[in-house]
Amino acid sequence: MSASAHTPAPHPAAPASTPPIAPRALLVRGLLVGLLAGLVSFGVSAVVGEPTIDAAIAYEESVAPAPEPGAPAEDELVSRGTQATWGLGAASVAVGGALGGLVALGAALAIGRLGRLDPTRATAVVAAVGFVAVALVPWLAFPANPPGVGDPGTIGSRTLAWFGLLDVSVLTALAAVVVAVRLATRLDAYAAGVLAAAGYLVVVLVTVALLPDPAPLGDVPAQVLWDFRLASLLTLTTLWGVLGVGLVGTVRRLQRDVVARADRRALAASL
């Protein structure tokens, strides 16, 4: 019997693992998507938000006491026209760009660390958790008020309470994601997600109960208040929605490019 008969057949080479998405590429695209999200949210705010602010200012002026005769008029540091156009647009784009960079960094850290989730789904989870923890929960606990509503003397305490809730919400959301990933190794993914979400909700509700109550609203018309808060929520949802959809689509395209390059290198190595 020949020696070749005893030689085992060579095993096929194991496919090379797919290279990860470069964090720098993800960050750059996150910034660009964030700028676009800020621009779109500016358009929404200009259409649905500015009329509610004008209505609130008109109400505030209608109930304000008349100035004393001969009293000097107060000078506006920034005109209302500038606030509603260039000021609002610049702030929206800047916030969108910064937020896009932060979410992109969060996605870069989450990819490969959320169990079996691929980069696209991991990015969607980061965007969804970010919207809930950063935007939705603080808005529900401390909804935005139009100009002239609330006690000016409580602005400092209300600001501290809002930032305190934001910190607790973000840190608890991060802990909930970590707990969900670890529980998923023992339970099914659905049960792990439900338990983690329930823990997050309990911590947030306890925190809100311990924080001071919002300031009294006064006699502001209910329709003015509702329209303003609805517009603020719509603007926030637009910002995060465009950011999430755009970033998920970007990661999906980056992943396809990475896989295609890896396949080409594998094919070239086999020739």
**pLDDT-derived band at 13, boundaries 50, 70, 90:** very low
Q: How far is CA 14 from CA 35, 112, 180, in A?
A: 42, 20, 32
d(CA 142, CA 138): 6
d(CA 84, CA 51): 10
CB 243 within 8 A of CB 99: yes
pLDDT 10s digits, 122-174: 999 999 999 999 999 999 988 887 766 666 666 777 788 889 999 999 999 99
Which tokens belong to 55?
């209505």
In the chain the first and final C-alpha atoms are separated, in Å, by 33
d(CA 250, CA 258): 12
Q: Give the CA dihedral 194, 197, 203, 207, nearest 10 degrees.
A: -140
d(CA 144, CA 211): 16
Average pLDDT over residues 44-68: 73
Domain positions in the chain are 23-56+86-149+220-271, 151-216
- 18 pLDDT higher than 60: no
pLDDT 10s digits, 101-110: 999 999 999 9
| Number of neighbours of residue 104 by Cβ within 10 angstroms | 28
pLDDT at position 1: 45
Instruction: Return all residues near 245 (Cβ < 8 A) that are at least 6 apart.
Output: none
d(CA 165, CA 185): 31
Residue with the larger pLDDT of the pair 136 and 23? 136
pLDDT 10s digits, 60-99: 666 555 555 554 545 555 566 666 677 788 889 999 999 9
pLDDT at position 67: 54
pTM of the model: 0.80
pLDDT at position 106: 92
DSSP the chain: --HHHHSPPPPPPPPPPPPPPPHHHHHHHHHHHHHHHHHHHHHHIIIIIHHHHHHHHHHHHHHSPPPPTTPPPPPPSS-HHHIIIIIHHHHHHHHHHHHHHHHHHHHHHHTTTSTT--HHHHHHHHHHHHIIIIIIHHHHHS----TT-S-GGGHHHHHHHHHHHHHHHHHHHHHHHHHHHHHTTTS-HHHHHHHHHHHHHHHHHHHHHHSPPPPP-TT--HHHHHHHHHHHHHHHHHHHHHHHHHHHHHHHHHHHHHHHHHHHHHHHHH-
pLDDT at position 66: 53
